[in-house]
């Protein structure tokens, strides 16, 4: 379809899904298209959990790189969140991190993060995006099927949940941001296109979350507490300060270690962790809401970048491409980075949009996916291949964290990688390896002869194999 007479826009884009990935995509598309966002949930202006975001009441984090991407897309959004009650802090100095059971140093790393509920973040983004002149949000609508001619998608058939009517909306571009439940693979098959190959890592992770009011001395100025599950203790906990002077806690566990979603179950789970601050919040804090429970059966990555044929006029973004383990807090940041990639491609005017978009985001998604998969596959109950490369990576990271608990520079290096500012390869550089080896051997880093660490390199006669 063509845009109206006198308009400089390219036509109409339809975004399926009004969650964060869809809203950020709509923000970018509004520079080029008239945009309609089809959202299954009813209209909602105030912050709060939505039925379409079952994980919305659990701990969420906007990583430092994600915060920067949000600012590029929506200048001033961080200050807007802070003015609405969100809590800002240094990613390392104001957070207790205990990866692999080792507590990192609380030193400034120069990266700022905003801690808030998912509902507050989404409401702020929705308000900014829907205020744009070329964006319309249609609530209470659900997509039924793609409409296509030959090799091009030209519209979407949708149903209005308010009157159960079915209609077709013509479009020059459809963007699927419907998350884990995306039906694009099924729709592609119906149109005669190949479905993307899926990589699945069954994690069977269970959350139980609650919001509390606690005395200020419990958090001691910390923005967040991060206690990931480990191979020896396949359960963990996350806590964060959010707006309204509240603290939200998410307890998590893999099969056999799941939290029970009752007050007694939360208390027992917290007590089993050996983390006094988490136990104090759960057992002594004033509960402010009901317990929310959520389960993740598997992490799923759909390899659209590997497809040789894909229809024009269609894109996929957010969890519809890759649904990560939510305990690693990567989803919002990756969605924002995908939106920036889309913005740059639209600005270039390249008509071959989908293949280039999928190829470019595959690098970001692949790195984040590898780190998450390595963490999950250290848990004995998680099924999946454990090649030598992955086992070596986990063995090296155990040695890294054992050293980082005593080393400011190593702690900062991890914070930068965990915030998606630096690539994971940074933690295997020689500068980092030298500091790890020095801590292990009781030497100065400069007494370690120069070399390098790679996946096939044995460092210090077995360091990568995980020997203490």
Encode pLDDT of 303-357 as tens digits: 999 999 999 999 999 999 999 888 888 889 999 999 999 999 999 887 789 999 9
| Tens-place pLDDT, residues 276-318 | 999 999 999 999 999 999 999 999 999 999 999 999 999 999 9
Which of 258-267, 380-389, 417-426 has the least mean pLDDT?
380-389
Average pLDDT over residues 375-384: 90
- pLDDT at site 217: 87
The arithmetic mean of pLDDT across residues 78-101, rounded, is 94
Residue matched to tokens 């479009």: 171
Residue 190 has pLDDT above 90, yes or no: yes
In the β-sheet with 12-16, what is the strand arrangement from edge to edge? 135-138, 34-38, 12-16, 173-176, 314-316
**Comparing 14-23, 41-50, 439-448, which segment has the lowest mean pLDDT?**
439-448
> Rounded CA gap, 12 and 29, in Å?
9
State the pairing for strand pair 198-213/286-287: antiparallel
pLDDT tens track for 431-452: 999 999 888 876 555 555 555 4
pLDDT at 4 over 60: no
Does the pLDDT of residue 51 top 90, yes or no? no
Residue 102 has pLDDT above 60, yes or no: yes
pLDDT of residue 2: 38
Is residue 35 helix, strand or coil? strand
Q: What is the pLDDT of residue 62?
A: 84
Average pLDDT across the chain, whole number: 88
Fold of 87-117+200-297: D-Amino Acid Oxidase; Chain A, domain 2 (3.30.9)
Residue 444: per-residue pLDDT: 53
| Alpha helices per DSSP H over 183-256 | 184-190, 216-219
What does the pLDDT look like over 227-275, one tens digit per residue? 999 999 999 999 999 999 999 999 999 999 999 999 999 999 999 999 9
Mean pLDDT of 89-106: 94
Helix locations, 191-285, DSSP H: 216-219, 263-272, 276-284
pLDDT at site 96: 95
Q: In the chain, count of helices (H) and strands (E)? A: 13, 18
For range 43-68, the mean pLDDT: 75
pLDDT value for 388: 87
Quickly state the pLDDT bin for 158 (edges 50, 70, 90).
very high
Q: Is the pLDDT of residue 455 over 60?
A: no
CA distance 372 to 414: 14
Q: Are strands 314-316 and 173-176 parallel, antiparallel or unpaired?
A: parallel
CATH code, 12-53+119-199+300-371: 3.50.50.60
Domain limits of the chain?
12-53+119-199+300-371, 87-117+200-297, 388-465
Read off the pLDDT of residues 238-249 as tens digits, 9 standing for 90 and up. 999 999 999 999
pLDDT of residue 463: 38
Given a cut of 50, is residue 457 above it in pLDDT? no
* 231 contacts: CB under 8 Å, gap ≥ 6: 378, 379, 380
% of the chain residues with pLDDT over 90: 73
Going by the DSSP 8-state scheme, the letter that residue 319 receives in this structure is G
Helix (H, G, I), strand (E, B) or coil at 273: coil
């Amino acid at each position: 379809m063509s845009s109206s007479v006198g308009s400089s826009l390219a036509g109409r884009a339809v975004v399926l899904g009004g969650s964060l990935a869809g809203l950020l995509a709509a923000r970018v598309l509004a520079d080029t298209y008239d945009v309609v966002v089809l959202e299954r949930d009813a209209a909602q202006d105030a912050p709060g959990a939505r039925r379409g975001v079952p994980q919305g009441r659990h701990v969420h984090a906007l990583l430092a790189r994600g915060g920067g991407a949000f600012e590029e897309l929506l200048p001033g959004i961080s200050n807007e969140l802070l003015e609405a009650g969100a809590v800002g802090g240094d990613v390392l100095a104001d957070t207790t991190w205990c990866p692999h059971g080792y507590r990192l140093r609380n030193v400034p790393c120069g990266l700022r993060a905003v801690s808030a509920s998912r509902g507050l973040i989404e409401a702020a983004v929705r308000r900014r995006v829907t205020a744009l002149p070329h964006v319309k949000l249609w609530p209470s609508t659900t997509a039924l099927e793609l409409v296509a001619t030959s090799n091009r998608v030209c519209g979407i058939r949708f149903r209005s949940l308010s009157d159960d009517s079915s209609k077709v909306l013509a479009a020059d571009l459809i963007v699927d941001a419907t998350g884990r439940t995306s039906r694009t693979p099924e729709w592609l098959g119906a149109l005669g296109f190949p479905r993307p190959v899926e990589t699945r890592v069954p994690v069977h992770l269970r959350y139980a979350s609650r919001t509390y009011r606690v005395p200020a001395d419990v958090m001691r100025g910390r923005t967040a507490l991060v206690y990931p599950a480990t191979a020896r203790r396949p359960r963990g906990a996350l806590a964060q300060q959010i707006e309204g002077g509240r603290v939200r806690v998410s307890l998590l566990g893999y099969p056999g270690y799941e939290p029970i979603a009752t007050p007694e179950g939360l208390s027992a789970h917290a007590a089993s962790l050996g983390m006094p601050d988490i136990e104090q919040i759960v057992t002594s804090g004033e509960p402010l809401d009901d317990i929310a429970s959520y389960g993740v059966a598997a992490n799923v990555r759909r390899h659209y970048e590997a497809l040789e044929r894909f229809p024009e006029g269609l894109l996929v973004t957010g969890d519809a491409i890759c649904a990560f383990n939510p305990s690693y807090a990567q989803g919002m940041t990756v969605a924002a980075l995908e939106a920036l990639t889309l913005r740059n491609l639209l600005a270039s005017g390249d008509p071959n949009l989908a293949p280039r978009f999928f190829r470019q985001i595959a690098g970001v998604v692949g790195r984040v996916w590898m780190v998450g998969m390595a963490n999950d596959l250290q848990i004995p109950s998680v099924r999946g291949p454990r090649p030598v490369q992955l086992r070596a990576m986990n063995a090296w990271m155990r040695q890294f964290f054992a050293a980082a608990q005593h080393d400011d520079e190593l702690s900062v290096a991890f914070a930068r990688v965990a915030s998606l500012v630096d690539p994971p390869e940074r933690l295997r550089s020689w500068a980092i390896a030298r500091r790890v080896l020095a801590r292990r051997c009781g030497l100065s880093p400069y007494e370690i002869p120069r070399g390098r660490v790679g996946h096939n390199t044995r460092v210090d006669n077995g360091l990568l194999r995980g020997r203490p």
